[in-house]
Amino acid sequence: MGRGKIDIKKIVNPTNRQVTYSKRRLGIMKKAMELTVLCDAQVSLIMFSSSGKLADYCSPSTEIKDIFERYQQVTCIDIWDPQYQRMQNTLKNLREINHNLQKEIRCVWISVIDFDCLKRLKEWCCAYAGRGRGRIWKVWMLRRCAVLSKNWKSRLSLFDRESIM
């Protein structure tokens, strides 16, 4: 007694559909493994279920990357080019944003630190040049932060006064 023939159409019942997918997925994986062993074929299989779960198989003697490269050579289709272009555009945009932020930071530093402040920092660094670098750096950064926060507070209070008027 043979199996009955079924119509190839979408299975309406989700439970039956999932059971059928699971059984057929295992069947096609078994066929891919058999092809690899019996015929020494390079097989790569990628499947996604309706829920988005990945099922894949690749011959033990190959890698998926090699399969994709051979596919590109045979079909003359560059499957990586669109992704590469998107990544290049993203990199270009990020570099531009980084450049603009660096310019903005430089402008803020120039506007916050006046000539007298720079002169005092230079004198202080020259005076303490003989001491350990780690301590100098730590103290210098603490003083610099104190000067900046003092200048920012005065600028913010000036801004608040201007916005009220």
The pLDDT value recorded for residue 35 is 94
Which range in 45-59, 75-89, 123-137, 150-164 is most confidently predicted, on average pLDDT? 45-59
Residues 6+ apart with CB under 8 A from 76: none
d(CA 115, CA 122): 11
Taking only the tens place, the pLDDT of each residue in 69-120 is 888 888 888 877 788 888 999 999 999 999 888 887 777 666 666 667 767 7
Q: Is 157 exposed, middle or buried (0-12, 13-18, 19+ CB in 10 A)?
A: exposed
Three-state DSSP state, 77: coil
pTM: 0.47
pLDDT at 30 over 60: yes
Rounded Cα distance between 87 and 80, Å, is 11
pLDDT of residue 144: 67
Mean model confidence pLDDT for the chain: 78
Radius of gyration in angstroms for the set of CA atoms belonging to the chain, rounded to a whole number: 33
